[in-house]
Amino acid sequence: MKYFEGKTVLITGATGLVGSCLVDKLMQMDNVHVIALSRSESKLKDIFNRYLGNCRFSICVQDVSLFLPQFNKPIDIIFHAASPIAGGVIKNNPVDVITPNIIGTKNFLDFLRTQEIRNGVKGRLVLFSSATVYSNITTDDKMVSEEDTAIADTLDATNAPYSESKRIVEVLAKAYYKQYDVDSVIARFSYIYGYSYFQPNTAFYEFLNKAISGNDIVLNNSDIARRDNIYVKDAVSALLCLCEKGKSAESYNISSNGELNNFMAVDEMASIIAKVVNKIKGSSINVNYLLPISDSRKPGVLLNNNKMKMLGWEIKTSVEKGIEETICQVVDKNI
């Protein structure tokens, strides 16, 4: 972790799942100045209250799709995590998804380009991309590597505002490196789960909260595709490794590769949630299906993480352990 010593690190989307965990990890290090950026001042102060008096920590209230503020020192590293992920937002407010992805990314690339010209400081952008760049168009379970991007969602697909904007920001980052030598590395995340102070509006957290509240988890069917899940602490350790060792303008899968039982459908994760909550709280939560249990599932996609392993990183958390840690943190918060 000596790589980060003496550096100023800006984290956008700092109140989200990955951003907040990344802030905590960096604040555990010595001599790292962290700037946490979000559109919401109240969220920043709520989640990072314990750091507000620390001279190594500051907050920045800003919409990344608008102009960027002036900072009182050069920025060495930018982790650009700001991006809505909730299905409802993607479906009903697609412009609110596209704008921070594309315009926000361009703003930070321009910022680093200008900073180097004016101050001689060459910063690095760690750009958050997604497994959605690979699409889910497949007839069988498949594993994809970083070069397997030939298949994409149709432009009319509900998820296209998210998946297509993630594809273009990767192209944008590579273009800025080729034309202007702006340094960046790209993290393609599989599905990340774990404790979040402000929970995303996704099925995983809906099921988790229902179970903790003492309610059964109800699903429509059981033919849901399995997906590549990764615990947030593993994702953050991969980010730090990628930031230090990743090759400029290259993309890297931050994923489980299905290891430690992390290739799992959300209804299977619901069963683990129920089991863990029952053990912790002595309850008898069940997972109920509205339709008969199917003998088959829709095909899913695994992300090959060998490229990250070549940098010296490896996944450490099984899905069972990750879910249990998440539930314990939520229960502790609610006590």
pLDDT (tens digit per residue) in 85-99: 777 888 999 999 999
Residue in 123, 132, 34 with CA at minimum distance from that of residue 83:
132
- The two tokens of residue 221 are 């069917």
Please report which confidence band the pLDDT of residue 335 belongs to, taking 50, 70 and 90 as the band edges: low
Domains of the chain (ranges; CATH) run 2-199+229-259+301-317 (3.40.50.720)
Beta bridge partners of 217: 287
Dist CA 156 CA 249 (whole Å):
29
- Do residues 221 and 287 lie in contact, with contact meaning Cβ atoms separated by under 8 Å? no
Match 């700092």 to its residue by tokens.
14
Match 């690190």 to its residue by tokens.
9
- Do residues 219 and 287 lie in contact, with contact meaning Cβ atoms separated by under 8 Å? yes
Q: For the chain, give the mean pLDDT.
A: 93
Please report which confidence band the pLDDT of residue 200 belongs to, taking 50, 70 and 90 as the band edges: confident
CB environment 311-327: b (16+ within 10 A), e (fewer):
eebebebebbebbbbbb
pLDDT (tens digit per residue) in 266-292: 999 999 999 999 999 999 999 999 988
Please report which confidence band the pLDDT of residue 45 belongs to, taking 50, 70 and 90 as the band edges: very high
- pLDDT value at residue 66: 85
Task: Give the mean pLDDT of 218-240.
Answer: 95
- pLDDT value at residue 36: 97
pLDDT (tens digit per residue) in 24-40: 999 999 899 999 999 99
The percentage of the chain sitting over the pLDDT mark of 70, rounded to a whole number, equals 99
pLDDT (tens digit per residue) in 51-84: 999 999 999 999 988 877 788 889 999 999 988 8
- pLDDT value at residue 296: 87
Q: What's the whole-model pTM score?
A: 0.94
pLDDT (tens digit per residue) in 287-324: 999 988 888 899 999 999 999 999 999 999 999 999 99
Task: Give yes or no for residue 109 having a pLDDT over 80.
Answer: yes
The percentage of the chain sitting over the pLDDT mark of 90, rounded to a whole number, equals 79
- pLDDT value at residue 13: 94
- pLDDT value at residue 195: 95
Match 């003998």 to its residue by tokens.
295
Dist CA 79 CA 32 (whole Å):
14
